[in-house]
Amino acid sequence: MDSRPNSDLIRSITQSEIASFVSDGVVHLPGILDIDWIYFLRTALEEVIDDPNGLADLTELGRNLTANEGFNVLSDSDVSSGRFLSGVDHWKDNESFAAFAKFSPLPLVAAELMNSKSVYLYEDSILVKEPGTSEKTAFHQDLGYFHLEGEKICTVWAPLDEVDSETGSVVYLRSSHKSNKVFKPNWFVANESLPNTEGNEIPKIEMDNKEMDLIRFDTRPGDLIVHHAATIHGAGANHSISRRRRAVSVRYCGDGVTYKIRPGAPLKAHHENVRTGDPVVSHPDCPLVWGN
């Protein structure tokens, strides 16, 4: 795509930032992404939002879980005036999201932080909290949703709007990636685990708990936050009246990562042809995007 923005970073990643990622399991990289990528993604995102089938409505999911399952959906109000929207794998059928996941500086960022010679694209994700969205994002660990095993797996989170505690900034449990535990995936708006999943129960965490080593970052478009796939994190509601919270995440894996089919976690089409223990190699649904 000739119209895609520059693939260079605005600045280099510092050794201190690499050390923070290794130690804390998360790092904030302010002002590192060309702002043209943000404008590029905003246009593509609006097309997805306008498509009735483009994104899942997690606000509606929360209502259904409450009514049909009796789950305690994590919400600041019984009525949400906004929607919590989410979707995955838009890179597969949208050239703009494919360009961002494969040809932006993100694969380089993942390679440097993970110290990996090769980087493979696992998936992308869209997360939108409209003004007045009362649903919180339940604390969870990405790894429990992934059919992957290994140390070099990460999520790169790119905010398309200014994000702070009012609009639902992400909160991370520092160094939780060092627990060597895989936690059951949950419903994202409720703490209850997905059916038939295996692993440890996610610990109960309150976002304002001063006794836990929780960290959050105020971010601006052009910033990136990168966290290890085993780092526990969640996010608040969007309490603002007029500010949207739009973000695009891209998940990558690197050297030494193998497939591990996790019961109950959502499968992708190509997972039907892999077995636990198989090394991740370039595949049309999991392509090599950095290195060789």
Q: Identify whether the C-beta of residue 117 lies closer than 8 Å to the C-beta of residue 255.
A: yes
- The 3 state secondary structure assigned to the chain is CCCCCCCCCCCCCCHHHHHHHHHHCEEEECCCCCHHHHHHHHHHHHHHHHCCCCCEEHHHHHHHHHHHHCCCECECCCCCCCCEEEEECHHHCCHHHHHHHHHCCHHHHHHHHHCCCCEEEEEEEEEEECCCCCECEEEEEHHHHCCEECCCEEEEEEECCCECCCCCCEEEECCHHHHCCCECCECCCECCECCCCCCECCCCCCCCCCCCCEEECCECECEEEEEECCCEEEECCCCCCCCCEEEEEEEEEECCCEECCCCCCCCCHHHHHCCCCCECCCECCECEEECC
Alpha carbon distance 280, 287 (integer Å): 10
**What gap in Å lies between CA 87 and CA 57, rounded to an integer?**
9
Over the chain (292 residues), what is each successive 10-residue block's mean pLDDT?
78 98 98 96 95 93 94 86 96 96 97 98 98 97 98 98 97 97 96 95 90 95 98 97 97 98 96 96 96 89
pLDDT of residue 103: 96
pLDDT at residue 209, as a whole number:
86
CATH of domain 15-290: 2.60.120.620
Q: Tell me how many degrees the CA angle 94-290-120 measures, rounded to the nearest 5.
A: 65
CA 61 to chain centre: 19
Residue 149: other Cβ atoms inside 10 A: 20
Give the predicted TM-score (pTM) of the model: 0.96
> Kind of pairing, strands 258-259 and 153-159?
unpaired
Residue pair 234/137 in contact by the 8 Å Cβ criterion: yes
